[in-house]
Amino acid sequence: MSSDKSTIDTSKPGGGTPAEEVPPATVAAIDPRLLVREQGFKGYITEFQRKLKGGELGSLPVIVGLIIIWTIFQVKDSLFLSSSNMVNISFFLSGTGMIAAGLVFVLLLGEIDLSVASVSGLSSALFAIFATTHGINPWLAALMTLAIGAGIGAVHGFFFAKIGVPAFVVTLAGNLGWNGLMLWLLGSTGSLSIADTGPLHILGQRSFFMNQSIAGAYVLATVGVAALLLGSLVDQTRRRRANVPYRPTSEIVLRTVALAVVAYVAAFVLNKSSGVPNALVIFLVALVICDFVLRRTTFGRKVFAVGGSIEAARRAGISVAAVRISVFAIAGFFSSLGGLFLAAQTYTATLQAGQGNLLMLAIAAAVIGGTSLFGGRGNVWSALLGMLVIQSIQTGLDLLNMNQSIQYMITGAVLLAAVVIDSVARRTQKASGRA
């Protein structure tokens, strides 16, 4: 195995057994004081309780919160859980969710990017100017826009990583500056309308997976469930062969069933109306890719390492500056992509794009979803979970004809609650030795 060639043979002199043939002495090395999970269903419950006490809340608060929010709105207005409203929520959460996904990378470093909303607004303007004013092919225009977005992020990253300006100051300057550039670009024309073609058609409200075919939603659900099941089984086999601990089959079945229930119920509900919006499909695909990058690649490992300890990462030979610049470029890219999603909601590049509470909502989504503001902990799925909460609140309050002022206050309170949970969880983790 390749691993053996790259490691000093530390077997004791005289022993002479190659590492491969050492019997799994690991059994003996397990500390008897370690709390091992009991077999069966009871085991899951006790482990779950232990994790809660240790402050490892994960996605639990947001799922509980979501259930509460949905119950309240459903009681107030029976249309809330209707199929068409769910299609609405799933469509409108994708744009801001895309921005939040990029922010997750930045939050994992323990930093913040305050420019994401302005960059998304600027991107919608740039796209409109490329595609509408100059008549460039919309696909090319989208590529150019995304490249500029990533470039802007890299510039922020450069000032932060190489010059040493605190990230929040650089991106605060960017927040104002890029908004100014957008206003200047649109100054002569005002709002620009965008044709319903190419990438913007796919991201728009009238575009559904497999053209609203009933099969579409079920295909997606099946692909997701099958991928999880297959991945888990392959992983289990490899681990069993390598003699390292593996997930018991019961746990794999439990997880797969849980995902299957959620996926098929969602598919059924969305199908009663028009199916799965393509914007949501693209958002989900992007999340799968981001999740892979963060958990399965060396780059992702570096992001977590820098978020955990900058000095340890540096001494391990990681170029901290390169990681920082790439992460801010990723945030810029996703802001830009989110900007295209948002522009596609109205097929216009407006002077108001990227203003108002977009920045706060994107940050709130990532934090509400369970990514820590303190760096080193979190995952991209928090962008989806957090946006589900936020979009549900917004849509619910819209249904009840509540004023925007109320929406701001409630969203603010939810963000505060999320940050409080994050801080308390971190304190508990420290107390129980996990932070």
Partner 1 sequence: MSATPVLALRGVSKRFGAVQALTDVELEVHAGEVVALVGDNGAGKSTLVKTIAGVHPVDDGVIEWEGKAVSIVRPQDAQHLGVATVYQDLALCDNLDVVGNLFLGRELLRFGSLDEVSMEKRSRELLNTLSIRIPSVRIPIASLSGGQRQVVAIARALIGEPKVVILDEPTAALGVEQTAQVLDLVERLRERGLGVILISHNMADVMAVADTVHVLRLGKNNGSFAVKETTNEQIIAAITGASDNAVTRRQARNAEAAK
Q: State the residues that interact with partner 1 by CB under 8 A.
A: 1-4, 6-13, 19, 22, 25-26, 29-31, 33-34, 235, 238-239, 242-245, 292, 295-298, 301, 304-305, 307-309, 311-319, 376-377, 429, 433-435
- Whose Cβ is closer to partner 1: residue 413's or residue 424's? 424
In the complex, least distance from residue 334 CB atom to partner 1, rounded to whole angstroms:
21
In the complex, least distance from residue 302 CB atom to partner 1, rounded to whole angstroms:
8
- Whose Cβ is closer to partner 1: residue 206's or residue 295's? 295
d(CA 245, CA 80): 45
d(CA 267, CA 392): 18
- Whose Cβ is closer to partner 1: residue 7's or residue 403's? 7
- Whose Cβ is closer to partner 1: residue 155's or residue 293's? 293
- Whose Cβ is closer to partner 1: residue 242's or residue 424's? 242
Rounded alpha-carbon distances, angstroms, from residue 16 to 11, 243, 430: 7, 21, 43
- Whose Cβ is closer to partner 1: residue 19's or residue 223's? 19
DSSP class per residue in 162-228: II---HHHHHHHHHHHHHHHHHHHHTTT-SEE--S-HHHHHHSTT-BGGGG-HHHHHHHHHHHHHHH
Residue 193: strand pairing partners: 348
Residue whose token pair is 């925007």: 404
- Whose Cβ is closer to partner 1: residue 380's or residue 388's? 380
Buried b / exposed e along 217-241 (16+ C-beta atoms within 10 A): bbebbeebbeebbeebeeebeeeee
In the complex, least distance from residue 244 CB atom to partner 1, rounded to whole angstroms:
5
In the complex, least distance from residue 8 CB atom to partner 1, rounded to whole angstroms:
5
In the complex, least distance from residue 13 CB atom to partner 1, rounded to whole angstroms:
6
Contact 367, 422 (CB under 8 A): yes
Rounded alpha-carbon distances, angstroms, from residue 417 to 60, 65, 66, 88, 369: 14, 10, 13, 25, 12
In the complex, least distance from residue 235 CB atom to partner 1, rounded to whole angstroms:
8
In the complex, least distance from residue 328 CB atom to partner 1, rounded to whole angstroms:
20
